[in-house]
Amino acid sequence: MTLRRIVKIPAGKLLKLTADVENGVLKSVAVRGDFFAHPEEGFDRAEESLVDIPVGEFRSAFSAALAREGVELFGLSADAAADVFEEMLHDLPPA
């Protein structure tokens, strides 16, 4: 099932988050928006590393991947993205 949210991050930019979830596993995720991330390619790799993780691990996995890549975010934070992600999981039908 495809989940999607467009959220203005408090004191930040506009996050457009799209995720495909199957049986509790994240099959694809797109973290888009007008935020800044340095280095940009590190953010790409952190985002790609989220594929095939259980949805419950989004917060810790995204945060760890961004730290591993040394990514600095402006207008968005790993936790703010995780808040939006967890909120949109409520759209999933009850298991």
Partner 1 sequence: MTFRLLETGVSPGAFNMGLDEAILGAVAEGRQPPTLRLYGWNPPTVTLGYFQGLDEEVDREACARMGVDVVRRITGGGAVFHDAELTYSIVLPESHPRARPGILDSYRVLCAGVVEGLARLGLSGEFAPINDVLVGGRKVSGNAQTRKRGCILQHGTILLDVDVDRMFALLKVPSEKMKGKLIEDVKQRVTSLRHQLGRSVGLPEAAAAFAAGFAAALDVVLDPAQPSPEELEEGRRIAREKYGTEAWTGRRK
In angstroms, rounded to a whole number, what is the distance separating the alpha carbons of residues 85 and 3? 9
Nearer to partner 1, 61 or 76 (CB): 76
Considering only residues 19 to 48 of the shown chain, the ones binding partner 1 according to CB under 8 A are 30-40, 43
Least Cβ distance, residue 4 to partner 1 (angstroms): 10
Least Cβ distance, residue 35 to partner 1 (angstroms): 6
In angstroms, rounded to a whole number, what is the distance separating the alpha carbons of residues 55 and 68? 20
DSSP H or E stretch at residue 65: helix 58-68
Q: Which of 1, 6, 25, 51 binds partner 1 (CB under 8 A)?
A: 6
Question: CA angle 52-53-58, nearest 5°?
Answer: 135
Question: How many residues lie near partner 1 (CB under 8 A)?
Answer: 19
In angstroms, rounded to a whole number, what is the distance separating the alpha carbons of residues 67 and 46? 9
Residues found near partner 1 in the complex (CB under 8 A): 6, 13-14, 16, 30-40, 43, 72, 74-75
